[in-house]
Chains A and B, each alone.
Chain A
């Protein structure tokens, strides 16, 4: 009965039989634990006995609809069927006196609303093994997810060839609003605030609204403890590249005598010095990060409420050699083998640099109308504060060159319901109100103007299980967005243009369990994205790319139609686990930057890029296969490929990832004496050269392909109620000098060289969820 605080390192999407069912059996009246209750799944012939505290776990279950039987001394056996699609917690309350099972309360069923959507999850163990990395880099291991970089420290996730405003980030259930339009703006999410990162690979606009064209990244909230007692953890990480590391701590508990009340506080900090490419220091790429969060939750049978607050702050240097003034500088940088500015390693952060702070406040209240129907109201407030500092003359470098403050309010009301025995789903309304404010005093005309954006949407998403194995899904959404812009025009006149965008999205899907080990998911969805202010109104020199970018206020909505088919199959009795995702995404009015000539300025001639719309088509395949060689050894392969084409002009799309192929050898062992959960992995990643790219858009040809050697090792040491886990992970172990097609700084310098990270986690106290 090992307490499974971090699962085994498996993808949740693998169809293998490794799901767990756990929970607590308690007495409904005095809430005392019912020790040694028996949990049995008769169809599978497996079960478990609860421990003294009434806690049980049944491991290695296959997905499916299973009958669960709970018995306790002197009670009649009680049965209920559950749909097990992923690790689940089912708390059971027995009406002890009446000796009958009143109700099985499903407290933690991870939301799986889009049953037809292909999705991949990184669980706590995966996140833990990527300790010391940012969220986008963690997600980059998932087939179909790439990382768009601006130098070694700024990373954004790309899903199926789309990134930035074309994918959506949900942090604690709230749309992340932190200036995602810029490639040099990394998402401000602390990976320590979640124990599960989910990537939805379909167009999920029905549920989440605009921007969810390529997919959604969900950083899920951690479930609070409900029972008395305190538990926590301390984590330390240290990395050789950047000679830095981090510390993180967490404490959580329930409150004695107040059942259902739980709390959690958490904080982390990270410091890195200049990172190192294979052959030189990447000067001024240091980083300082501090983040914290607090959650208070209360849950009773009918009511549940959660209050969450988090703050994330980050200061980071931008590669000094990437700060350029014009196209001549850029051409010189491309021709140089080494960046022109390489200084000895330092922890100092000089301009150009960014300072960002992001606050998130969430209040959620859920009211259970019946056993199955629920109303959930969520309010979110985010405040994003961003300053970018440039190298300026006249001692002005300490004055921000860009100073943006963006508060966002959001409100959601969702009604989760059942109509009859089969049809169930949710419907709701979402409202969003956002302001973007350029704080005066920079002495520079703002890159994007001030604006107010308000959106209002209504949606419905329904599921209908046709049979036990085949579930259908359909949804629709209607949304209106109003954008009010405040700016000076070219003649210095104050103008306040208003834009209105009305959109709808439709979605249909199916989830078909062909057998215990084979599952097919299919989804077809429309999605939309109103143009961002930067696409409508930007006008000026984009530093870092030595170009002038011109907005077009007449641009309309982007609309996409995406089809995703996802097959998960276990072959040879589950020894070979495979997952295959095939998709096609057709986007009309796809907005991108097209070169339109040169403009003479006092800094020399600048290429001009206009925001224009075209029709785009993206096709791709993600695949994964893992073969168990024996009890301990496995091999795994992951592959992803995207093809993007410009339908109006013909030819390929710009900024498409190149093909990737990763192979790994894995050794897993559950216990070795006092140690447990041992896992070793050696991986080899091949990133091919992009051979499909449009002529005349890029300043340099795509970089060569590269090969990476990586490793990971982790082991746990249970110590009663406490546990020590430690691990090591290495990337680019051969210290290969390389540049990546999706790295905007590939013109200036090589990407990050060899890096080895050590991590330790000490968890104390037990507090089951």
Chain B
């Protein structure tokens, strides 16, 4: 069986070639690529409540903040909400920030520039509060990055803020602030535990 022997030798030779051929490819990549800066990420939602009329000669401001700097996982989000007094009329603005980068970036202007493609929705189970006067996009449909809030009576509950990207603003109820038929993609959905005193 000389042919078989010859074949065996060939086989071993070529196998050896393959083995050695693969060994030299095992150098790791020279320099690691820098970690990705996720520039589109939201880490922070801030609601700023400011009196529309001075109370006792001063404009008072109350803040509600939702922060998750390291994104999903890792550290738990930090949520804080100042109690707000009842029977007052506030101008409210929503600020969205990316605080995972230095310096932090305010992303609200970007949302306002693309107002037609975004809408904020608010839900406030348990709270005796009336929200109105939402800012509008170029088509006269609500964006909701600023609005007014009237704290009608003492109450305790949740204020939910949702931001939809590319919602269908023409769907029934959406322009009136009902999220049910909005569709699109949720960019933000956070709950603030709110006390109206």
- The interface-forming segment of B82-90, B138-146, B151-159, B187-195 is B187-195
Contact with B along A395-432 (1 / 0, CB 8 A): 01000000000000001010101010000000111010
* Contact A442 to B186, CB < 8 A, known contacts A452-B26, A600-B77: no
Question: Using Cβ atoms and an 8 Å threshold, which residues of chain A touch B188?
Answer: 602-603
The reply to whether A602 and B45 form a contact with Cβ atoms under 8 Å apart is: yes
Closest 7 CB pairs of A and B: A340-B183, A604-B189, A325-B186, A325-B185, A431-B18, A601-B72, A429-B15
Give Cα A427–Cα B189 distance, bound, in whole angstroms: 59
A492, B35: Cβ atoms closer than 8 Å? yes
Which of these, B68, B114, B171, B181, contacts A601 with CB under 8 Å? B68
- List 11 additional contacts besides A375-B7, A391-B165, A601-B77; criterion CB under 8 Å: A326-B189, A328-B189, A340-B183, A393-B110, A413-B15, A415-B10, A419-B4, A444-B40, A452-B25, A602-B188, A604-B189
CB-defined contacts of B14 to chain A, threshold 8 Å: 377, 413, 429
Question: Is there an interface contact between A603 and B22, defined as CB atoms closer than 8 Å?
Answer: no
Query: Is there contact, CB below 8 Å, between A454 and B39?
Result: no
Q: Is A445's beta carbon under 8 Å from chain B? A: yes
Complex Cα–Cα for A394 and B36 (A)? 18
Max chain B C-beta neighbours (<10 A), residue from A373, A458, A548: A373
| Contact B168–A411 (Cβ < 8 Å) | no
- Identify the closest chain B residue to A325 (Cβ): B186
Judge whether B72 and A599 touch: CB under 8 Å.
Answer: yes
**What is the CA–CA distance of A328 and B121 in the complex, to the nearest angstrom?**
13
Q: Judge if A34 is at the interface, Cβ distance under 8 Å.
A: no
> Counting CB contacts under 8 A, is B74 at the interface?
yes
Contact of B3 among A329, A370, A454, A548 (CB under 8 A): A370
Q: Is the CB of A341 within 8 A of B168?
A: yes
Q: Which residues of B contact A490 (CB under 8 A)?
A: 73-74
Interface string of A520-542 (1 = CB under 8 A from B): 00000000000000000001110
Interface-central residue, A375, A419, A458, by most chain B CB under 10 Å: A375
Complex CA distance for A456 and B20, rounded to whole angstroms: 11
- The reply on B53 being an interface residue by CB < 8 A is no
Please, how many residues of chain A have a CB less than 8 angstroms from a CB on the other chain? 61
Is A433 part of the binding interface, using a Cβ–Cβ cutoff of 8 Å? Answer: yes
Least CB distance from B25 to A in Å reads 5
- Please tell me the number of chain B residues within 8 Å of chain A, measured between CB atoms: 59
Q: Is B62 an interface residue (CB 8 A)?
A: no
Q: With a CB–CB cut-off of 8 A, which chain B residues contact A438?
A: 33
Complex interface bits, B1-18 against A, C-beta within 8 A gives 1, otherwise 0: 001101110110011001
Cβ contacts under 8 Å, B189 to chain A: 325-326, 328, 602-604
Q: Which residues of B contact A373 (CB under 8 A)?
A: 3-4, 7
A194 within 8 A of B: no
Is the beta-carbon distance between B18 and A456 smaller than 8 angstroms?
Answer: yes
Tell whether, in the assembled complex, residue A602 and residue B29 are in contact, meaning their CB atoms are under 8 Å apart.
no
Chain A residues with CB below 8 A from B68, complex form: 600-602
- Determine the residue in chain A with the shortest Cβ distance to B114: A393
Distance from A348 Cβ to chain B, minimum over Cβ atoms (Å): 16
A182 sits at the interface (CB 8 A): no
Interface residue? B122 (CB, 8 A): no
Residues of A within 8 A of B171 (CB): 340
Interface residues of B (CB under 8 A from A): 3-4, 6-8, 10-11, 14-15, 18-19, 21-22, 25-26, 28-29, 32-40, 42-45, 66, 68, 71-74, 76-77, 110-111, 114, 117, 162, 164-166, 168, 171, 180-190
Chain A residue, CB-CB nearest to B31? A494
Question: Which of A413, A482, A490 gathers most chain B CB within 10 Å?
Answer: A413
Pick the contact of B187 from A325, A492, A540 — CB < 8 Å? Answer: A325
Structural contact, B186 and A326, CB atoms closer than 8 A: yes
A369 to B1, CA, bound (A): 12
16 residue pairs from A and B, CB less than 8 Å apart = A325-B165, A325-B186, A341-B168, A396-B40, A415-B8, A415-B11, A433-B25, A442-B36, A444-B38, A445-B36, A445-B38, A452-B25, A458-B15, A488-B35, A604-B162, A604-B190
When A369-B3, A548-B73 are in contact, do A392 and B187 touch as well, CB less than 8 Å? no
Contact partners of A417 in chain B: CB under 8 A: 4, 7
Count the A-B residue pairs with Cβ separation under 8 angstroms: how many? Answer: 155
A329 near B186 with CB under 8 A, answer: yes
Query: Assuming the A-B contacts A373-B3, A454-B25, A541-B72, are A443 and B36 also in contact, with contact meaning beta carbons closer than 8 angstroms in the complex?
Result: yes
User: In the complex the two chains form, is A601's CB within 8 Å of B7's CB?
Assistant: no
Residue A341 contacts which of B15, B39, B165, B183 (CB distance < 8 angstroms)?
B183
Interfacial chain B residues near A370, Cβ < 8 Å? 3
Asked if A443 contacts B72 (CB within 8 A), the reply is no
> What's the Cα separation between A666 and B34 when bound, in Å?
62
Chain B residues within an 8 Å CB radius of A377: 14
A760 to chain B, nearest CB (A): 41
Residues of B contacting A604 with CB < 8 Å?
162, 186, 189-190
Chain B residues positioned under 8 Å from A375 (CB to CB): 7, 10-11
Bound complex: CA of A482 vs CA of B68, how far in Å? Answer: 37
| Contact A443:B15 (CB < 8 A) given known A393-B114, A539-B73 | no
* Chain A: minimal CB distance from B36 (Å): 5
Q: How many angstroms from the CA of A244 to the CA of B44 in the assembled complex?
A: 46
Q: What separation, in Å, do the CA atoms of A269 and B112 have in the docked complex?
A: 43
Contact at B40–A443, with CB atoms within 8 Å? yes
CA distance A340 to B183 in the complex (A): 5
Complex contact B72–A540 (CB within 8 A)? yes
Q: Which residue of B lies closest to A432 (CB)?
A: B22
User: Interface code A489-511, partner B: CB below 8 Å = 1, 0 otherwise?
Assistant: 01010101000000000000000
Check B22–A321 contact: CB distance below 8 A. Answer: no
Choice from A321, A369, A541 contacting B183 with Cβ under 8 Å: A321
Nearest CB to that of B32 among chain A residues? A494
Q: How far is the CA of A48 from the CA of B121 in the complex (A)?
A: 80
Report the bound CA distance from A375 to B189 in whole Å: 63
B3 & A394 in contact (Cβ 8 Å cutoff): no
Residue of A whose beta carbon sits closest to that of B13: A413
